[in-house]
Amino acid sequence: MLGPVLLAAARSDAIRRAVSAAPVTRPVVDRFVAGERLDQSLTAVRDLADRGLEVTLDHLGEDITDRSEAVRNRDAYLALAEALAGEGLGERAEMSVKLSAFGQALPGGEDIAYGNVLPVVEAAAQAGTTVTLDMEDHTTVDSTLRILSELRGRFPQTGAVVQSYLFRTEEDCHALAGEGSRVRLVKGAYKEPAEVAHQDKREVDRAYVRCLKILMAGKGYPMIGSHDPRMVAITQELARTAGRKIDSYEFQMLYGIREAEQERLAAAGHRMRVYVPYGTDWYGYFMRRLAERPANLAFFLRSLISR
Ligand code: FAD
């Protein structure tokens, strides 16, 4: 029940200020966010690599309101790509971007976002890595898929994300299941209206399995973004029945969540990629993690009480 309230709070400036200023917030945020600086994110990549894990790095930022912020976010990713190349980490770490941080919601935003993300995708290719376009709320899906299609014309390895809670997603999976197509399947983390999205968690899970079947039967490279043990087991079963090689798909989980399971899957020979967010603009990301799981919220509340 608290989930929708927290998701609404994720978009409130007043609550953002209050939560960000609370001294107890920081240690809880640190569980989900690798740090505020680029060098801290690189340390996380090395630590995870030592444990057999791969990474996708997210420079936190979303919902910007002017063009200069979009340019700053682009530059942060360019610096990241340069650092990955310089440190020889391009094979270990790719990058995840939110187009809202690149100006997608501004007037004329699709062109602005494309103009900002293209140099990042080019820099990623030069660094020996790639970019995945995170998916945000349902109003952005068409625009994000159009930008993806443009980018794939020149950089076919650019990754997409689809969210099983949206009614449209099975169709999107069919469209994105072709040769070479990298697609992360997630359940979806935003507060969406009943006209466009399943509201019942069991329906979201069923839709996830249907999408998984489409992607695993296709010719692309599915990236299973879920901590759900059931989805992990179903993926392994589908891989067996489709005769898929173990390196023709991968699992993805978020930094700080189910770490033992991440290591277990990697040790079993799976490609396991950890989504590592870093940067100062952690509020929206943090609130979505609290909304997802009562245990995450309880952890936060306990830290308030134990002070
Ligand atoms: P849930 O349905 O939340 O939980 C199912 C089961 O998983 C639980 O019952 C429990 O057994 C296990 N589980 C879940 N969390 C935990 C935990 N903390 N500790 C222990 N067990 C746990 N959403 C977007 O909308 N757009 C994106 O671009 C996007 N990118 C993502 C990238 C990655 C790599 C991942 C992992 C998620 C991403 N998400 C994204 C978030 C996603 O949509 C879900 O909100 C989030 O992953 C929670 O759903 P779930 O499938 O992990 O499991």
Which runs of consecutive H residues, i.e. helices, occur in the chain?
Answer: 2-9, 13-21, 25-32, 38-50, 67-86, 109-126, 141-154, 169-175, 201-217, 229-242, 259-267, 283-292, 294-305
Rounded to two decimals, the ipTM of the complex is 0.98
201 CB neighbour count, 10 Å cutoff: 11
SS (H, E, C) 14-26: HHHHHHHHCCCHH
226 lines ligand 1 (CB under 6 A): yes
Protein residue with its CA nearest to atom 18 in ligand 1: 257
Distance 251 CA to ligand 1 centre (A): 12
Give me 28's structure tokens: 């809880």
Q: Which atom of ligand 1 is nearest to the CA of 257?
A: 18
Protein residue with its CA nearest to atom 4 in ligand 1: 228
pLDDT tens, per residue, the chain with 307 residues: 567 777 777 777 766 766 776 665 677 788 889 998 999 999 999 999 999 999 999 999 887 889 999 999 999 999 999 999 999 999 999 999 999 999 999 999 999 999 999 999 999 999 999 999 999 999 999 999 999 999 999 999 999 999 999 999 999 999 999 999 999 999 999 999 999 999 999 999 999 999 999 999 999 999 999 999 999 999 999 999 999 999 999 999 999 999 999 999 999 999 999 999 999 888 888 888 888 876 777 766 665 555 4
Q: Which of 207, 185, 212, 184 is nearest to 196 (CA)?
A: 207
Give me 66's structure tokens: 């002017």
Site to substitute for ligand 1 among 133, 226, 286, most atoms within 8 A of C-beta? 226
Which residues have a catalytic role annotated?
134, 184
Site to substitute for ligand 1 among 292, 297, 299, most atoms within 8 A of C-beta? 292
Could you tell me which residues come within 8 angstroms of residue 63 by beta carbon, excluding any fewer than 6 positions away? Answer: 11, 100, 101, 105, 284
Domains and CATH numbers, the chain: 34-281 (3.20.20.220)
100 lines ligand 1 (CB under 6 A): no
Give me 191's structure tokens: 């507060």
**Which DSSP symbol is given to 282?**
-
235 lines ligand 1 (CB under 6 A): no
Encode 54-90: b = buried (16+ Cβ within 10 Å), e = exposed: bbbbbbbbbbbeeeebbbebbebbbebbebbbeeebb
Gap between the Cα atoms of 248 and 179, Å rounded: 11
163 lines ligand 1 (CB under 6 A): yes
